[in-house]
Amino acid sequence: MSIAKAEKKKLIKVKHSRLEKKRAVWGYAFISLWLIGSIVFFIIPLAQAFIYSVNSITISGGALDLTYVGFDNYRYLLAEDPDFYTDFGESLGDMLLNVAVIVPFALFTAVILREKFFGRTFARAIFFFPVILSSGIVLTVLKEQVMGGGDETLELATASQSSYMFEAPDFADIFARLGLPDQLMNMIQDLLSQIFDITWKSGVQILLLLSAVNSISSSSYEAADIEGATGWEKFWKITFPMVSPTLLVAIIYTVIDSFTDLANPVITKTEDFMTSGEYAYSTALGLMYFVCVLLIIGIIYFIINKFVFYENDR
């Protein structure tokens, strides 16, 4: 009898092992396309870019001639380039402003769109519609039509970091009467001018946070109502903790979106060097920028993740 039980247990283990192997095979099959894409479109180009950055590149007869120069491009970038730190600081400031404005706006909008009201589906579509139209050509046409200046206006908009889809009225006189400092006045003016841009850039964040808000069980709110909790208390005690993991994703997405924006001064400078034929230095600038952005994302994740509420940790 004991031998039969032992054989039965052994057979169960064999079947279980085979099932685990089948699951592992299917798992690798599902991620195979991602692995191939990562190798072909990320790892190989990244390695090639590093090779370009440590060489001097000249084009002769349609072919690239590489002359090894070591880390001279990086040395010049970090020690002698007068614009890199200024441009990166401006990019960092724009990123912090975007995160501070877009993420709360997206969360506020997601909470509102969760409620039942007439035209809710249409309102959701309106906020996500810019994501569908956020291709380069559509943005170019929109800027031309809105600003009404053709190619010259578009070039000025690209060159100026304070150009927006819609420009807010000049409140300088009002701010002057209030006695506000010029720096604060300019910040408020820029923020007002970015209202359309903020709405335009927050579609993905709204979608993510709306999904997180909708996944919260209604029983939690019902229990809070029985206890007499106010709307403010329900938001901070239920909604905010439950959506905090998705909020972290939204923050990281906003950081990446801000750093890769075409109007970003470092991105603009990289394209300028590429256009002028300084391919090696442009590549070195892009790689150094990539490393800096990666470090910033890691720091942000390390800090914010400590305050994120995970339901499985309860």
DSSP 305: G
E strand or H helix that includes residue 57: strand 55-60
pLDDT score at 14:
62
Residue 136's Cβ-count burial label (10 Å; 0-12, 13-18, 19+) is exposed
Q: Which pLDDT value is given to residue 156?
A: 41
Would you tell me which CATH number, out of the four given (1.10.3720.10, 2.40.50.140, 3.30.1330.50, 1.10.540.10), belongs to the domain 82-313? 1.10.3720.10
Q: Determine the average pLDDT of the residues in 186-210.
A: 77
Q: Assign residue 179 a region (left: φ > 0; alpha: ψ between -120 and 50; beta: otherwise).
A: left
pLDDT single digits (tens) 144-180? 555 444 444 444 444 444 455 555 555 556 656 666 6
User: Mean pLDDT over residues 267-280, rounded?
Assistant: 89
Mean pLDDT along residues 137-143: 57
Mean pLDDT calculated for residue range 174-202: 69
Q: What is the CA radius of gyration of the chain?
A: 26
Domain ranges of the chain: 2-53, 82-313
Q: Is residue 206 within 8 Å of residue 227, measured between CB atoms?
A: no
Pairwise CA distance, residues 56 & 73, whole Å: 9
Q: What percent of the chain has pLDDT over 90?
A: 33
Statement: residue 283 has pLDDT above 90: yes
Higher pLDDT, 156 or 20: 20
What pLDDT is stored for residue 139 in this prediction? Answer: 58
Mean pLDDT of the chain: 80
CA dist 313 and 76 (Å) reads: 48
Q: What pTM value is reported for the model?
A: 0.75
pLDDT higher than 50, residue 210: yes
Q: How confident is the model at residue 309 (pLDDT cuts 50, 70, 90)?
A: confident
Where helices occur in 39-149 by DSSP H, the ranges are 44-53, 72-79, 84-114, 120-132, 136-147
24-to-15, 19, 160, 258 alpha-carbon distances in Å: 14, 9, 52, 38
Residue type, 65: D
Beta carbons of 57 and 64 less than 8 angstroms apart: yes
- Mean pLDDT over 276-285 rounds to 91
